[in-house]
Structure formats: structure tokens, C-alpha cells
Homo-oligomer: A and B are copies of this chain.
Amino acid sequence: MIDEPSRKRTDARRNRDRIIEVAGATFAAQGLDVPMREIARRAGVGPATLYRHFPAKGDLVAATFADQLDHCVATLDAALADPDPWRGFCVFIEKVCAMQADDRGFTAAFLATLPGTLATDFERVRDHHLRRFAELTRRAKQSGHLRADFVPDDIKLLIMANGGIGTESPAASRRLVALLLQSLQAHPTTPPAPLPPPVLPPPRPFP
């Protein structure tokens, strides 16, 4: 027999999961601009329920992108474990940009300053791993492959540029990332490696 408090906990957990699922799909398709009340409506919960789980929108964003952050961290772990730090660096950038090319909310979630308590934890984790990325860049420079004037914060520049491509054409993102990685080499190869094929995103709908 299921007691009342246990049923409530199950309901609450189900609501939370449902909200995160809906927020994930919504942010991926439309970016972070979608209002909280619209997320609540789509998840089929009242605004009070939404705000009980996520007091600030930054908290909802942090919870929604937690899996993606984990995925980025695992990718960074693999890059740091690669005996060739330049290869590790390139694969890391390629994978992060590929995740981003699949999700319109990614850029804002990973670059914005998020208000909220959960959000503060999210940012602390993110910033910790940015310091580990700095270690990867240090090794890639030491190996002689990454140009000396690259700074770790340049990853934000790469992510912003890749974010400009949007999510309609992963192939266009791959071509851009290949160009960017070639430009980051300390001793560029002559002639440069061939690029992925030119595939442009479809024209954007006019607002």
C-alpha cells in the first residue's frame, strides 16, 4: 500500500522530470528567451509548481543543462587524458561545438551569468572546468601545436562564433570549426588540410 507522503514525493519527482524534459526541448528549439509561464503551460503544471521546483529561471536552466555540462566534463577528461594534447584540444573543441550546433540554448546557458541558487552551483562547476581547459591549452602550447597567443577565454569566442551558425546545419558548423582549428595552429601546415564540404544553413525565416 502506498502512503500519502510517498505518493506526493513521487508526483513531485515526476513533475520535476517532466518540467526539465519540456524545458530541454523548448530551450534547444527556441533558445532561453521562452518565458517561465510558457514552460509551465507546456509541461502541464501551474506556475506555482514550476517556481516551487525552480525559484529562478537560472535554476531551471542549470537543471536543464546539467547533463550537457556532464557531457562537456567527460569530453574534457578524455582530452586531458590524450597523450597528444593538440589532438585532445581539437577533439574537445569539435565535440563541444557539435553539442552546441544541436541546441539553441547552449550558448546562453554556458556563457551567461545565471541568477539563482542551483545556477550558482552550475557556474561554479563550469568555471572549475574552464580552469582545467586552461591546463589543456597550456599543454597544447607546450607541445608546439597551439599558437602562443591563444588564451583560454578564447573558447568563449569560438563558442559565440559557432553559435552564430545556429542549429539548422551541423555541416556548416563543422566547416567553421575546421577553419578555426586551422587558424589556431602555431605552425600551420602548407597547404592546409581540406575542409569539410560547404553546406550552408537554409535561409532564416524572416521575423
What residues of chain A have their CB less than 8 Å away from a CB belonging to chain B?
Answer: 31-33, 57-58, 107-108, 111-115, 147, 149, 151, 153-154, 156-157, 160-166, 172, 175-176, 179-180, 182-192, 194-195, 198, 200-201, 203-207
CB nearest neighbor in B for A109? B206
Q: Which of B151, B160, B191 contacts A164 (CB 8 A)?
A: B160
Alpha-carbon separation in the docked complex, A179 to B157 (Å): 11
Shortest C-beta distance, A8 to chain B (Å), equals: 32
Asked whether, in the complex, the Cβ of A111 is within 8 Å of the Cβ of B191, the reply is no
Contacts of A163 in B (CB 8 A): 164
A165 partner residues in chain B, CB cutoff 8 A? 157, 160-161, 164
Q: Would B200 and A172 count as touching, CB distance under 8 A?
A: no
Report the copy number of this chain in the oligomer: 2
What residues on B are CB-neighbors of A57 within 8 Å? 206-207
Q: Which residues in B have their C-beta under 8 angstroms from that of A207?
A: 31-33, 57, 108
Taking a contact as CB atoms under 8 Å apart, the answer to whether A108 and B204 are in contact is: yes
Cα distance, A6 to B194, chains bound together (Å): 63
Whether the Cβ atoms of A194 and B160 lie closer than 8 Å is: no
Partner of A162, one of B161, B180, B184: B161
**A176 is contacted by which of B147, B153, B161, B198 (Cβ under 8 Å)?**
B161
CB distance from A149 to the nearest CB of B (A): 5
Contact of A112 among B147, B188, B191, B204 (CB under 8 A): B204
A147 to chain B, nearest CB (A): 6
Give the docked Cα–Cα distance between A79 and B56 (Å).
51
> What CA separation (Å) do A115 and B184 show in the bound complex?
40
Asked whether B201 lies within 8 Å of A191 as measured between CB atoms, the reply is no
Of the listed residues A31, A113, A183, A184, the one surrounded by the most CB atoms of chain B closer than 10 A to its CB is A183
